[in-house]
Chain A
Amino acid sequence: MANTFAYAETRAGELRRVALEAVTAARQLADATGGGEVHALIIGAPGIAAKAEQLGKYGADVVTVVEDPALDMYSPEVVAATAAQIAGVGGQRAAVFSASAQGKDLAPRVAAKLGVSMIADATSLQASGDSIVATHPVNTGKVVATVSLTGSPALVTIRPGAIPPQESNRTARVENAKPAIDPASARVVPKELIQGNTTQLDLGEAPVVVSGGRGLKVPENFSLLEDLAAAFGNAAVGATRAVTDEGWRPHGDQIGQTGRLVSPDLYVAVGISGAIQHLAGMRTSRTIVAINKDREAPIFKIADYGVVGDALEIVPVLTEAVKEAKKE
């Protein structure tokens, strides 16, 4: 029985949620094709082995742990060589990575090393005969492609949030391995990891996203959105490309085709006109609220609830109302 590989992404010694998504997706593929083991790989500085147990909980049968003091940061060449070595043995059926910033860098390297093609940014995934079939949004999300891949392993990255982590309560066997190449020999040398506000929820993981555009007029007015996000308690604050290009907000907060793709339960678009490139990053949100002065703004066409008016007047009132609603 062929096995399925999953790469468990970490950052600064912690498992990322996308690691659990990759293991879950691998488990689902394995189960749908009559079983076989899920082999997860986790790489990091000494101590990362403590995270192996959690991967078992989400469906890994075997967790290969690679610990090395030089691997406290993501080292692309070392991780790619190690993942290729482990995903490439034993005729694994599929190898699942996340289409996160790290996964998008890593997976194509692994694929080229193994000489296999890959599916990128899958929003759904299934086995079909000898092929892996997936959906993958193209043309800024305005078209959805169904793609079919053959190869061993069939390598796939899955869009963060598309396949929610699901527990399956296994106890994984832990195996230790060494990096496939000496970390000191890496030509691309990791120098620094800059962590944003780690107490704030990640945009890709927050159930509520409050997002602002140029309609907020000046960067200081983003504090109104911070207050609204705090009132929700489970929200992250995003921005449009116009705003991040102006330097009002960090580049990493940009929601849109060329930035983060988010799909929260609730998306609150404040002072956002709804340019195509922005809509591509949030149109799959479950519920969309738009607050904008311009009744003709395209954002209203996709919003479930639109409020026309000055965001600077409306948002503080909404913040108080949300606080009240949360109290009840």
Chain B
Amino acid sequence: MKIAVCIKRVPDMETRFKIAADGASVDQTGLKFDMSDFDGYAVEVALRLKEKEGQGDITVISLGPSVVQETLRKALSMGADRAIQLETDSVPFDGLAIAKALAAELKDGGFDLILFGRMAIDSSNQTVGPMTAVLLDLPCLTAASSLDIEGGRATARRELEGGAEIFEFQLPAVISIDEGIARPRLPSLKGIMGAKKKPLEVKPAQLGDVHLTVTKMELPPERAGGRIIGEGPDAVPELVRLLRTEAKVL
């Protein structure tokens, strides 16, 4: 099976973010970066499918400046076979502009399966996967929380508010992966050494026009929390009093 996994480099979310001087982006100083959480699950799903079949070829693709090669190398060290950087100075916020670049790269690749993480943990748009599928005219399932492929036919589950739904479809297809489906492995030392020798190709990104832009970024107002009203069951009467008289929620 020939599989492509589209991955994104994102800042570490444990950081206390600062807004950059332009007022419309995050200050990059001192930030650590890694593969977006959901993309790790997508890479893991690809690796397990390949292991199950005993053969296959996994291409990881990332769009951005040369620093995304670090993220691609991580996927290679997990076990992907080859990598492609779609080079651009910056990653636009506009999902369709990105989807066009990915579709241009993927359309003649002969992939049986194109995987995405459910969403990028930084921009939180959750649009690129299904947009790419439409541009490629392929069946698409988003936010798969389980996936079973037998004889080229897939059965997948996606979670809903208070429920779930099950779909079936034929490969080739585009699937975006929810967390929890398969815990991503850590790269082994052997994997890290081997990744250095795997092919990494750099191509210009054929981005679409941009119609969605970020005009401002700001930090949300801090919550004025931090009030501890007491300890143990003895604090309950005071808690109930405050919920009634102050918060007025009871």
Interface, chain A (partner B; CB < 8 A): 11, 73-74, 76-77, 80, 100-102, 104-105, 107-109, 111-113, 115-121, 133, 136-151, 160, 187-198, 200, 202-204, 207-208, 232, 244-245, 251-252, 257-258, 260, 265-266, 276-277, 283, 286-289, 295, 300-310, 313-314, 317-318, 321-322, 325-326
Contacts and interface: CB of A to CB of B under 8 A. Distances in A.
Contacts of B240: 318, 321-322, 325
A288 B128 CA distance: 34
A141 B223 CA distance: 13
A104 B226 contact: no
B189 interface: no
A117 B95 contact: yes
Contacts, number: 280
A101 B143 contact: yes
Contacts of B26: 139, 143
Contact of A252 (B129, B164, B168, B216): B164
Given A258-B121, A266-B250, 11 more contacts: A112-B133, A119-B212, A120-B124, A121-B126, A143-B26, A160-B161, A188-B141, A195-B162, A198-B162, A252-B163, A276-B14
B239 A307 contact: yes
A30 to B, nearest CB: 21
B164 to A, nearest CB: 4
A129 B237 CA distance: 53
A137 B217 CA distance: 9
Interface of B: 11, 13-14, 16-17, 19, 26, 37-38, 93-97, 99, 121-135, 139-143, 145, 155, 158-170, 179-180, 210-220, 223-233, 235-237, 239-240, 242-244, 247, 249-250
A304 B229 CA distance: 9
Given A118-B96, A322-B250, A139 B122 contact: yes
B233 A196 contact: no
A244 B236 CA distance: 28
Q: Is the interface of B mostly helix, strand, loop or mixed?
A: mixed
9 contacts: A112-B133, A146-B216, A191-B166, A252-B159, A266-B243, A287-B243, A289-B243, A304-B227, A322-B240
Given A287-B249, A309-B235, A189 B214 contact: no
